[in-house]
Structure 1
Amino acid sequence: MSTSRPPGSSSPTTATSSNKRHLTIEVHRGRDRAYQRMQHFQPTRSVWGLLTDPEPSTHDPSDSPDIPLLERGVELRSIFPESALRHQSTRDYSEYMMALGAKVRVTPSLPMKLIIFDGESAVMGIDPDDTAVGAVVHHSQAVVRLAEELFLSYWNDAVDPFEPRRGVTTDGITAQEAEFLRLLVRGATDEQVARRLGVSMRTVRRIAAKLGEQVGASGRFELGVRAAQRGWVD
């Protein structure tokens, strides 16, 4: 991976060197500059990603830029919110890539967007709530290791997107609903819940109304209490 700056990108926070191990962090402000920087990565071993907002693939999956990586033997692992599967194009694209060897799993929610290249560089948003602000590229071994541990903690709990009973818990509520309750009792706002689940505000309110009716709760606080009484949250 080259440490030279892409056109229009902001300067790295630390001094650059021809040896990438001496480059600790890069800051690229704005969506376009962050995208330009991403195109300069040339992974040879692995790409792991927490994808909080995977856009439905409207192009032919056979044109995916990830296919050459798979052909070179690069391991691709992706996790995205299960809500993304409501788009048929995303389902088709995931199924196509998995057939080629990519590894894809889904989970009820994700904390932030994160991509790790070759276990050497970790890319995350400057603002986890707004990817348009730009991206930070970390090369520090300590930060990259923390990023890998975060990824693996979600990977181990995530499931195959095409698993027949995906999303259903033994308590009679879906995994998405269970995650909504977990976030609720932690004090998350509707906006934060929507972002973590990858859904609209309308969907968040629909989930709240459904669960409230299910347990006979008239408000969010009472819903949290009754959910805890049923053992749906810790």
Structure 2
Amino acid sequence: MLAAIGLDEAHETAYRTLVAVGAAEVGDLAHRLSLGEADTERALRRLERHGLAAQSSAGPQRWVAAPPGVALGALLTQRRHELEQAELSAALLAEEYRARAGQTAAHDLVEVVTGTTAVAQRFLQLQLGATDTVCALVTGAPMAVSGTENEAEEQAVGRGVRFRVVVEREVLTLPSGLVELGAAMGREEQVRVVDRVPTKLVIADGATAMVPLTSRALEPAALVVHASGLLESLTGLFEAVWREALPLRLGEGGAVDEVVGSAPDRVDLQILSLLLAGMTDASVAKQLDLGLRTVQRRVKGLMELTGVTTRLQLGWHAYERGWVTR
């Protein structure tokens, strides 16, 4: 809990114990901590440097805890100041980077990252640095990093970053495939499925992309692409695959419950036609002898299938795809 202010677990335990007893001899504290007296005294000296403990006037071997409200408050204030300074430095560096972006040479628009550790680290940096959206194409082939489950992804989701993921169908057959997809969908990530994806791909905030490099080398390599025409092409590739992919639903126990079909059935078409004729959901339900929730669920499924967010867009897509006519 106190690692943020520079204390490791051992020193935090020593401080908590000293707070609990108020004051203690080195030997007594060593017994409570199950440490040697030399290690206990070193821990107390470090607490003293942080202003969390002090030697008692009763004797050099007796120590007292500093009041947490005062001592920890001072440390927190110092750390806040340091974080503010770091945040200011980061903002200045970002501004300098943006100012030079227009003067960036063509060869600086891409990076080649080689080696399992380097590729994994760069991938994590993309997700940790994302603030809005992460888009990913995931294949069933082995990769240096997982495309569906890692701590950075969970942290990003916790910050409100939206994930749009397309996996190829082979991923569903992998031993841990459904478990990882279930965890991703449990975090409210959007997951779709296609038979095959053209390449592994990760795009963070529409500003940086990462794709693997085909190589005969033993170690994996990846290409990191910054804002450029190439990045726009990769973004267009993802959106094209996303439009053709089918939304995935998992049932109880993580089994594949439904992959929305590539075209609506007869009832869906009837619902669409009546809605486009201006009828309300309730009127459509009554006309087709369906439950209101059934109508609304089918409409939601059609919106997921077409990748739209409004019914107006759904009507346009239905016409464009030939599901309905004028």
Give the TM-score, by structure 2 length.
0.40
Question: Deviation per CA, 1:87-130, whole angstroms, max 9, x where unpaired?
Answer: 35321221232122111111000111111111001111121898
The alpha-carbon deviation at position 63 of structure 1 amounts to: 6.9
Contact 2:246 2:262 survives alignment (8 Å): no
Contact 1:31 1:131 survives alignment (8 Å): no
CA distance, structure 2, for counterparts of residue 108 and residue 131 of structure 1: 28
Listed as ranges, the matches of 1:182-201 within 5 Å are none
Kindly provide the amino acid, as one letter, of the partner of residue 210 in structure 2.
V
| 1:144 correspondence with 2:231 | yes
Question: Deviation per CA, 1:133-182, whole angstroms, max 9, x where unpaired?
Answer: 30111113211111111001111111123375539889xxxxxxxxxxxx
Q: What residue is the counterpart of 1:69 in the other structure?
A: 156
Change in 2 beyond 3 A, CA 1:30/1:88: closer
Query: Secondary structure of 1:153's match?
Result: helix
Change in 2 beyond 3 A, CA 1:154/1:85: same
Kindly provide the amino acid, as one letter, of the partner of residue 37 in structure 1.
R
Contact 1:82 1:161 survives alignment (8 Å): no
Listed as ranges, the matches of 1:1-234 within 5 Å are 19=97, 21=101, 22=104, 23-41=108-126, 42-53=129-140, 64-87=151-174, 89-127=176-214, 132-162=219-249, 164=257, 166=259
Kindly provide the amino acid, as one letter, of the partner of residue 19 in structure 1.
Y
CA distance, structure 2, for counterparts of residue 43 and residue 99 of structure 1: 20
CA distance, structure 2, for counterparts of residue 32 and residue 115 of structure 1: 17
Contact 1:125 1:131 survives alignment (8 Å): no
Query: Secondary structure of 2:160's match?
Result: coil
Higher relative contact order (CA 8 A, sep 6+): 1
Kindly provide the amino acid, as one letter, of the partner of residue 111 in structure 1.
P
Kindly provide the amino acid, as one letter, of the partner of residue 182 in structure 2.
E
Q: Which runs of 5+ in 2 are unaligned?
A: 1-94, 250-255, 264-326
Q: Which has the larger radius of gyration?
A: 2
Change in 2 beyond 3 A, CA 1:82/1:130: farther
Query: Secondary structure of 1:101's match?
Result: coil
Contact 2:248 2:260 survives alignment (8 Å): no
The alpha-carbon deviation at position 65 of structure 1 amounts to: 3.1
Query: Secondary structure of 2:247's match?
Result: coil
The alpha-carbon deviation at position 46 of structure 1 amounts to: 1.1
Kindly provide the amino acid, as one letter, of the partner of residue 39 in structure 1.
L
Of 150-159 and 40-49, the range deviating more from structure 2? 40-49
The alpha-carbon deviation at position 30 of structure 1 amounts to: 2.5
Question: Deviation per CA, 1:9-66, whole angstroms, max 9, x where unpaired?
Answer: xxxxxxxx9516334111112232222222333111111111113669xxxx997431
The alpha-carbon deviation at position 69 of structure 1 amounts to: 0.9
Q: What residue is the counterpart of 1:208 in the other structure?
A: none
| Larger helix percent | 2
Give the TM-score, by structure 1 length.
0.55
CA distance, structure 2, for counterparts of residue 68 and residue 31 of structure 1: 22
RMSD, aligned CA:
3.4
